[in-house]
Amino acid sequence: ALESGMLFPRESESRQIRELQGMWNFRADTSFDRNAGFKDKWYEQRLEKSGPVIRMPVPSSYNDITVEQDLRDHVGWVWYERDFFVPMDWVQSKRIVLRIDSAHYYAIVFVNGRQLTEHEGGHLPFEAVVNDFVNKNVQNRVTVAVNNTLTPHTIPPGRVTIHRNSSLYPENYMVQDIPFDFFNYAGLHRKVILYATPKTYVDDITVVTNISGTYGIVKYNVSIGGNAPFSTHIAVVDQEYRTIAEANESDGELNIADARLWWPYSMRQDDFGYMYELQVTVNSSDGIDVYRLPFGIRTVKATDTQLLINEEPFYCLGFGRHEDSDIRGKGLDLPLIARDYNLLKWMGSNCYRTSHYPYAEEILDEASRWGIVIIDESPAASIREEENFNDKGLKRHLVVMEELVRRDKNKPCVIMWSIANQPKSENPKSGPYFKNVFDFIRALDPTRPLTFAIRNLNPQTEYVAQYVDILSLNRYFGWYFDTGHTEVIQIHLSNELQNWYNKFKKPIIVSEYGADAIAGMHMLPSRVFTEDFQTDFLMEYHAVFDVYRKMFLVGEMIWNFADFMTKQGVFRVGGNKKGILTRERQPKDAAYLIRYRYWSIINGT
Ligand code: GCB
């Protein structure tokens, strides 16, 4: 089990934050064995003493910042470094933490030349206390080595091939093969933060809510870190800053009279995304620590035909998405986040899946406020090879699930966990492997339904679907099958929905369906890759959805919200073009179709 909490750093009267964003020094290790940085101890002195450095913005992927193909396609370690200062009063009395919100894929962190911590896996945060590492009166140096290498036992899996045939390839020629359809962007993708708390502090909070009549029931558990004896005070505060319930126990239940529930905006256009705060105060000889956790009161349940939020049926009008944009790759970008939510709302989308990895907390916290529902997916994309299904990979998968639940458990927008995308679930080995993952996550969080995105077309040879609460099907009739033939989509899709429902008797979300369209390309009658075809294609699916959403279909998600970058390949013209928006977030024709459809369904017209 994980040793501590991972509360999102929030400022309060007892907590201070210094963000270490900006231009860092950067050097890719292009040495023959990709190991010069460790052999020559680049972290022991300034990085520029080791050789030439360039300037690199944090947060951002490093791949598309320069004009060098070598850096875009680099495999192995890169090194980041910058100076920072620690406020004097922090050094005297505070617990000082260095936190990295995402470093893809493997990271080792040094402070003033000494190793502070290491972490495996992008997309999820890690942190360490730095009090014993920092200097009081002079500047400090943080050095982060990040390695993007994926193996058959990383989550997600991948493989590095070294070509040995020196008559065809340069010596030690390395390429990274990735089995998933998005570019393996790397680097310090999200914030690097230095923050301070009292030495006895709020370490973790878990909130689980329920509804009884007009009451909201708030079960909470607080864990405290540090050594001093302490007392706690818990308060539920509403959006007008009124305290509406209080307690002194660190573990308990509070009843909220006339509770305002957290609703998706599509279900309550006048009262959505309502957030309370659990204000936790710890009082000890180390001082007072205050942490305010935003939460919402809501329930989620799957029946055998429906997905219920607050006991009312919810229908997902959504998308698969990516953290992806021009230049910054997967780098956190607030203007982009805001633009995306404005576009989602413009189209009437009430829901999306964080395909194919956990998104930044800044993104999810906006979803909670916008009343948009999230299916929170793990980074386990494309576990498809024989050698992925073994104990090493499984162990890693469980750690990732635990880190994901620890980070996102209190977010009201998250209504479901997606354990994986498109594993080879027709391989008998996937059965026991995934049973482990499902059992594990159900024990961690019994309050949310579970799913994974299914590529297998045959429910008769399916080994994992039996463990889910909701079936998520990724389907490409008319695109990867019967390419260009929109006229067969309806037959294929209805058969498919019936077959899967009949076998498993569980609600279904079509979690992917979509067609590439090059923005601006038109042909009538339509052909693949035109905007016309994308629109025709979607309409065929919608005709079927409109029949089954009155039965057991609980959601539809277009692949994809926006065009995104992939590895190079003969099927990918400058990336995957299945977006109904361009990568620059401007609409293709299909966006207007979706806007009309989603809002008509929301408004019941
Ligand atoms: C899928 C994958 C997604 C791909 C998509 C496609 O099934 O889940 O990652 O991008 O198909 O466009 O091929």
Q: What is the pLDDT of residues 479-500, one digit of tens each?
A: 999 999 999 999 999 999 999 9
ipTM for the assembly:
0.99
460 within some domain: yes
**Alpha-carbon Rg for the chain in angstroms:** 25
State the Cα–Cα distance between residues 514 and 598, nearest whole angstrom: 16
Residue 488 gets which letter from DSSP? G
The CATH number of whichever domain residue 267 belongs to comes to 2.60.40.10
Total number of domains in the chain: 3
Half-sphere exposure of 30 (CA within 13 A, CB side): 13
Binning pLDDT at 50, 70 and 90, where does residue 49 land?
very high
Same domain, 252 and 290: yes
**For atom 2 of ligand 1, which residue has the closest CA?**
181
Q: What is the pLDDT of residues 215-255, one digit of tens each?
A: 999 999 999 999 999 999 999 999 999 999 999 999 999 99
The residues, ordered by sequence, that sit 6+ positions from 496 with a Cβ below 8 Å of its Cβ are 457, 473, 475, 477
What residues have CB less than 8 Å from 212, skipping those under 6 apart? none
Q: Which residues contact 191 (CB under 8 A, 6 or more apart)?
A: 19, 20, 21, 59, 99, 100, 101, 332
Residue 181 CA to ligand 1 center (angstroms) comes to: 6
User: Is 569 found in the same domain as 443?
Assistant: yes
Query: How high is the pLDDT of residue 33?
Result: 87
Q: Could you tell me if the CB of 559 is within 6 A of ligand 1?
A: yes
Can you give the pLDDT at residue 171? 86
Domain containing residue 335: CATH number: 3.20.20.80
The answer to whether residue 153 sits within a structural domain is no
- Using the 8-state DSSP alphabet, how is residue 381 labeled? B
Phi, psi of 399, rounded to the nearest 5 degrees: -60, -45
Asked if 259 and 319 sit in the same domain, the reply is no
Nearest residue CA, atom 10 of ligand 1? 181
3-state SS class at 284: strand
Q: What percent of the chain has pLDDT over 70?
A: 100
| Least confidently predicted of 106-115, 136-145, 264-273, 521-530 | 136-145
What does the pLDDT average to over 352-364? Answer: 98
- DSSP β-ladder status, 553-559 and 508-512: parallel
What is the distance between the alpha carbons of residues 97 and 129, in angstroms, rounded to a whole number? 4
Domain-ending residue, one of 162, 196, 230? 196
Q: Are residues 276 and 309 in the same domain?
A: no
Question: With contact defined as beta carbons under 8 Å apart, do 423 and 394 qualify?
Answer: no
- Do 312 and 400 reside in the same domain of the chain? yes
Residue 284 within any structural domain of the chain: yes
Look at ligand 1, atom 5, and give the residue with the nearest C-alpha. Answer: 181
Residue 9: per-residue pLDDT? 98
What's the gap in Å between 542 CA and the centre of ligand 1?
19
- Residue 181 Cβ < 6 Å to ligand 1: yes
Q: Identify the pLDDT of residue 605.
A: 86
Residue 168 lies in a domain: no
> Cα–chain-centroid distance for residue 251?
29
CA dihedral for 484, 485, 490, 492, sign (positive or negative): negative
Q: At what angle do helices 361-370 and 391-408 cross, to 10 degrees?
A: 50
The residue among 308, 213, 289, 287 whose CA lies nearest residue 256 is 213
Q: Tell how far the Cα of 423 is from the centroid of ligand 1, in angstroms.
A: 12
Assess whether the C-beta atom of 474 lies below 6 angstroms from ligand 1: yes
Count of CB atoms within 10 A of residue 309's CB?
19
Q: Which two tokens stand for residue 577?
A: 């073009």
The tokens of 241 are what? Answer: 């800053």
Does the pLDDT at position 299 exceed 80? yes
Residue 270's pLDDT band, with cuts at 50, 70 and 90, is very high
Quote the domain boundaries for residue 142.
16-148+184-196
- For residue 534, the surrounding DSSP H or E stretch is helix 531-548
From 355, 576, 583, mutation site for ligand 1 pocket: most ligand atoms within 8 A of C-beta: 576
Per-residue pLDDT averaged across 21-37, rounded?
95
Rounded Cα distance between 63 and 326, Å, is 11
Assess if residue 175 is contained within a domain: no
- pLDDT band for position 172 (50/70/90)? confident
Sole residue written with tokens 């708030």? 218
Query: How many A from CA of 561 to the centre of ligand 1?
Result: 12
pLDDT reported for residue 180: 97
477 pLDDT band (50/70/90 cuts)?
A: very high
Query: Ligand 1 mean position to 438 CA, how many Å?
Result: 23
CATH code of the domain covering residue 188: 2.60.120.260
- Give me the chain's average pLDDT, please: 97
Alpha carbon distance 354, 259 (integer Å): 29
Of 135, 161, 196, the residue that ends a domain is 196
Considering the domain architecture, whether residues 357 and 218 belong to the same structural domain is answered as: no
Domain identity same for 209 and 355:
no
pLDDT number for residue 1 = 79
Q: Ligand 1 mean position to 173 CA, how many Å?
A: 29
